[in-house]
Every structure is written in C-alpha cells, then in structure tokens.
Amino acid sequence: MRKSTIKTALIAAVLPMAFACLCSTVSAMTSNEALALAQAAHQSGDASALAKLQNAASGGDANAQDRLGIMYADGEGVRQDYAQALSWFRKAADQGNEDAQDNLGVMYTNGQGVPQDYAQALSWFRKAADQGYALAQNNLGTMYDNGQGVPQDYAQGLIWYRKAADQGYADAQYNLGVMYDFGQGVPQDYAQALIWYRKAADQGDADAQFNLGIMYANGHGVPQDYARAAPWLLKASDQGNAGAESNLGVMYGNGYGVPRNDVVAYALYNLASFKGDVKAGANRYLLDHKLNETQISAGQALTRKIQAIGASRAIAAYLQSQSSGSGSMTSVQVATLQASLNRSLQQDERQAAYILARRGNRAALNELTADAQGGNTFAQTALGKMYATGRGVPQHPAQAAYWYRKAADQGYAEAQNGLARLYEVGLGVRQDYAKAMSWHRRAAEQGLAKAQYDIGVLYTTGHGVAQDYAKGASWFRKSAKQGLVVGETGLAELYAEGQGVPENEIRSAYWYRKAADQGSAYAQDALGRDYEYGKGVPLDAGMAAYWYRRSADLGYPFAQADLATLYLYGRGVAKSRPLAAYWLNKAAAQGDVRARQLLGNCCAGIPPATSTR
C-alpha cells in the first residue's frame, strides 16, 4: 500500500521568474518589467512588447536577456529555439544574473542546445547558488545527490538542500525530508523528515503531501494514524499524484481512517492506473470482478468528477449523496448520481463498455466495436488488448495488431506500445525488433512509462539493439520516476550489480523501497534481504522480518522461505520452529526448492502454526 516519492529532479524546463532579480549588475529593466513584456508578447501577441524586450536585451539588459532566453527555450511568443535561448542566457549569466546562470545550468543538464555536460551545469549552478539563489542551490544539491558532474556526496547535497530549504523553497524542503526519511547524508530521522515534509506540504507540494500521508499511515516519526494520513493523501490526490490516489484507494477499500467504500476505491484506482500505477491497476482488476455493473458505472462517473473538480470535493459530494440511503444503490440512484456528477460521460461509458465486454457482454462488445470503427482510439486499443489476450473474444493476434495499428497511427501511446509488444514476440505480425523499438519510442516520447521500461529491457537484453546497460538504466530511470514498479525494480537491480550505473547499494535499496511501498512482493523481499545483510540500509533483522512478512503475505514464496529462516534462528523475531514450519510449508507448496530442503532438514515432524498473528 505504501509509497514514497522520488526526490525532485533538476528543473526539466526553464521556469519563469516571478520576483525581482538579485543580481549584482544594476539593470534598467526589472525582472518583473521584463516578465510583463514577455507575457504581453506571449499571451496577447503584442509585437511591440516583444520588440521592446528584444531591444532591451540587445542593449545589454540582463533581465531582458534572461526573459528572452526563457521565451525561446519554452517557445512562448516565439518559435522554440534552444540555440537562441542558450545565447541569451549566456549573455545574462556573464553579467551575473543568477536566474540566467541557473537556466544555463538546466540547459547543460538536459542537453538542450548543447551536448549534455554535467560539469558545465554544475559550474553554472554553483555561480547562481553562491549568490544565494534557492533554485540553483536545490539543483546543485541534486547534482551532488545523484553524482552528476561530481562524485556522489550526500553530505554536500544535504548542505545545499538546507540552504535552499531555509529560504522557504518547497522543492528543497521536500528533498531534505527525503534525505532524513532514508538516512542519506544524515542518520535516518523520521521526526526531521516529518518536519521538512510538512513545510513543503504546507506550500502545496504534492509529493510532500503524499509522503506526509504515508508517514502517518506507517507510523514513521508519529503514532500510526490513518485518519490523519487521509487528508494529506487527499490533498496530494487533488493535484493528481498517482501514488496518493492508489494508497487512498486502499484506505477506502479497507476502511482505514475513512468510511469503507468500494466505489470510491474503484474511482481512485482507476485514476492511478491511468497514470501507470501497476498496483492500482491490479486492485481495480480485483474490483472489476467483485462489483456489479451498477457500482462500476458509479465508479466511472466518480472518476470523471474527480478529474473535473478534484478528489476532495468529488468524494465528499459522492459520500454525502450516499449518506441518506442504505445498502446497495439502486439503478435510479446511480442515474441521479451520474446526472449530478457529470453530464458528459462518453469516455467513461467506453471504459465501462470495455470492462463489460471483457466479461463476455455481447452488447458492450458491439458498442465498443462500433466506436472503434468510428475511429475512437480508446475503443480501438481496448479491442486490441482483448484480441491479444482472448478476454471477452476468441484470441486473434492478427486482429489485435489490426486494431492496435489503427489507434497507433493516430498517435495513441497505449496502442503504440501494445503494437510494439506484438512485434517483439511475433504475435499477429512477423517478429521485428527494429519495428518494436520504433513503436516503443513513439509511445515513450509521449511519456508512457510502460514504453520507457520496455525500451530499457531491450537495451539490457540486447534484443534488436546492441546491449547497452547504460541506456537501459536511463530508460528504466525515466519509467521509475513516474512510479512504474518494474522500472523501479529494474533500476534497483542495475545499481546492485553495477551494470550501466556505478554499483551503489544505497541507491539500489532506495529504488527497492519505492517499489516495495507500492506493494511489489519482489521488491519487498529484496529490501528485506538488504536489511538482513546491511546492504545500502542499516543492518536490522527486525526491518528484514517486516518486509519479508509483507511480501510473504502476498504469497511470494522466496519471502516466505526468507521469513521462515528468521523464525528458525530467532533473528528479528522470536525463535519459533512452528512458525518457521508454517511459512516453509507455504513456500514449499509453491515449489520452492529451498523451503522443501529446510523442511526436511530442520522442521520434519514439527506441526506448523496455524496463524502468524
């Protein structure tokens, strides 16, 4: 259920500056004046405003130069041109303009208009940071934190994060919270993590709100309190944080600190799964088979309402609409709710039709097919999935390829990735790794996390491309930063083995922790081993037992055997051969060879415990 978020990365796009410049060079135009001209040129198409800005920049005005650079970098009011952006940033930066120095660092970090050069990025970030510029201080901290342009140094990262955090910069406050949360550069200190997360959360930082909610849910630094966790997860969900939506779904699905409500849980899982949250997708799948058609329809309506007005307001309205009734909703109640929540549910209806069609509902399949024939990309992709898997229709790979291609040719990322996977395995099409890579890239360039991960797999396995662990790690990282569990575990494995990235047990444990918090049994077991042997985390048999148990409870046989060995030798738990036998029997029943050997060697004849609680 738990998930915490990755540290804020370097600013991916050059950000507008909304406050006066603190540079040492006196300028004829203030930063706000330059911003006003830029906004007039961009929003109103005011050619005279753009001309004034260009004239001031050509005359050597550093604030105008910086603002003009931002316009070229973002394509605001002018055609996007990184070379022009770089030129104007450099002119302003050479005059000591801190915002331009920071923006120049971003350009070098991202390789925009110049070859990617972390050393140059570091140099420019430092110039701005030394002037006390919080954004640059945070970016410099990130460079040290990630080992970009310098040897990885958590202590230095912490110093720069703190400088920016002390100025009230929310991203740095969040990053500082993560350092304390995971014990990077400082001893692990949940109380300090809580303080810094709260500072950032109070400024509206969604990641901090999410992590704060998780700390209350886990009882880290505070007594465990689901009721206090829920409001913070709601705040993060209001901003579209997939991890918050997924975890809040679990809370509503189980009644943790909130009223138990499967329809609300379904809607939250729906939203998180759209963003690539694998655990949410799995939980929604379970509800697909538990709820009736009326409840699913209500869940789809609530999904759309959350998208329109935010989770807090939409869920409150839904629960209020239920408070006057009891038991299951009637069809009339559902119709009334749908009308009040949203008048336009076309996409939700297609989603509902897809769910019903997968269950063999012929009318829903006909409706979905008609939409697909009419050119709707969601319907085309849904049919592609159904024909590829044989759910709701006879399996027909060629038909799957046909429908995927229809949607893929219209630029629909899910379909592009589905078609790529068919080319990978030669299902419905001739196997062609080059075409698979081409379609994966199209989807990945649109930000689809699953496609980014699939490209990483191709590079790490050398299928269709020269094996390149560094490129594989880069693609895994892109998907991991979006919270894709398999991307997080893939990156963790590369850090553990030193493949494509420097071997780093701390970073490996960090990524395993992120996947584990999302409910990955594999990652939970791996994190348990890290704690058992002190790899990248403090040696802690109690924490090892905690993570092994979470994985074992999900049915992962390796974790069941690992937990059994702790019971067998009394490490992190009270020594108990019956409990060891209990978990070994569970693992052995799934074919785990090690469990069978241990049962024969040490637990033969010992009656297993009937419960581990």
What 3-state class would DSSP assign to 284?
helix
Question: Which of 498, 452, 500, 445 is closest to 476 using CA atoms?
Answer: 452
Provide mean pLDDT across the span 238-251. Answer: 92
% the chain with pLDDT above 70: 85
Which residues in 136-151 are b (16+ Cβ under 10 Å) and which e?
bbbbbbbbbbbbbbee
276 pLDDT more than 60: yes
Helices (H), ranges, 330-432? 331-341, 346-358, 362-373, 377-389, 397-408, 413-425
Confidence of residue 389 (pLDDT cuts 50, 70, 90): confident
* Cα angle for residues 209, 211, 214 (degrees, 5° grid): 110
Confidence of residue 577 (pLDDT cuts 50, 70, 90): confident
Confidence of residue 349 (pLDDT cuts 50, 70, 90): low
Provide mean pLDDT across the span 113-134. Answer: 93
The reported pLDDT for the residue numbered 138 is 94
CB count, 10 Å around CB of 208? 29
DSSP 8-state secondary structure symbol assigned to residue 376? -
302 pLDDT more than 50: yes
The reported pLDDT for the residue numbered 5 is 28
Among 4-18, 204-218, 467-481, where is mean pLDDT lowest?
4-18
Provide mean pLDDT across the span 128-135. Answer: 94
pLDDT digits (tens, 9 = 90+) for 311-329: 988 898 888 888 755 444 4
21 pLDDT more than 50: no
Confidence of residue 423 (pLDDT cuts 50, 70, 90): very high
DSSP 8-state secondary structure symbol assigned to residue 112? S
Residue recorded with tokens 């940033």: 89
CB count, 10 Å around CB of 241? 26
Provide mean pLDDT across the span 466-492. Answer: 91
Which pair of tokens denotes residue 233? Answer: 């997860």
Among 102-111, 216-225, 522-531, where is mean pLDDT lowest?
216-225
Distance separating alpha carbons of residues 9 and 139, to the nearest angstrom = 8
Q: Are 217 and 199 in contact (CB under 8 A)?
A: no
Question: Which of 17, 43, 42, 39 is closest to 30 using CA atoms?
Answer: 17
* Cα angle for residues 423, 427, 433 (degrees, 5° grid): 20
40 pLDDT more than 70: no
Look up residue 394 and give its amino acid: P
The number of residues in the chain equals: 613
* Cα angle for residues 513, 518, 519 (degrees, 5° grid): 95
Provide mean pLDDT across the span 408-431. Answer: 92
pTM strictly above 0.75: no
Among 323-337, 350-364, 593-607, where is mean pLDDT lowest?
323-337
pLDDT digits (tens, 9 = 90+) for 150-198: 998 999 999 999 999 999 999 999 999 999 998 888 998 888 898 999 9
The reported pLDDT for the residue numbered 477 is 93
34 pLDDT more than 60: no
The reported pLDDT for the residue numbered 359 is 72
607 pLDDT more than 80: no
Which pair of tokens denotes residue 342? Answer: 């949203």
Q: Are 492 and 515 in contact (CB under 8 A)?
A: yes
Distance separating alpha carbons of residues 479 and 46, to the nearest angstrom = 40
Among 42-46, 83-87, 231-235, where is mean pLDDT lowest?
42-46
Distance separating alpha carbons of residues 520 and 528, to the nearest angstrom = 12
610 pLDDT more than 70: no
The reported pLDDT for the residue numbered 132 is 94
pLDDT digits (tens, 9 = 90+) for 594-606: 888 888 777 655 5
Confidence of residue 465 (pLDDT cuts 50, 70, 90): confident
396 pLDDT more than 80: yes
Q: Are 216 and 231 in contact (CB under 8 A)?
A: no
469 pLDDT more than 50: yes
Distance separating alpha carbons of residues 349 and 297, to the nearest angstrom = 8
Distance separating alpha carbons of residues 227 and 220, to the nearest angstrom = 15
Q: What share of the chain is helix, strand, coil (3-state, %, to 5)?
A: 70, 0, 30
pLDDT digits (tens, 9 = 90+) for 365-377: 888 899 899 998 9
Provide mean pLDDT across the span 24-34. Answer: 47
Left if phi > 0, otherwise alpha if psi is -120 to 50, otherwise beta: which for 400? alpha
Query: Burial, 331: exposed, middle or buried (Cβ in 10 Å; 0-12, 13-18, 19+)?
Result: exposed
Which pair of tokens denotes residue 548? Answer: 């092994």
The reported pLDDT for the residue numbered 612 is 38
Q: Are 135 and 11 in contact (CB under 8 A)?
A: yes
Give 341's Cβ-side CA count (13 Å radius).
31
Which residues in 412-437 are b (16+ Cβ under 10 Å) and which e?
bbbbbbbbbbbbbeeebbeebbebbb
The reported pLDDT for the residue numbered 249 is 94
Q: Are 473 and 491 in contact (CB under 8 A)?
A: yes
CB count, 10 Å around CB of 277? 28
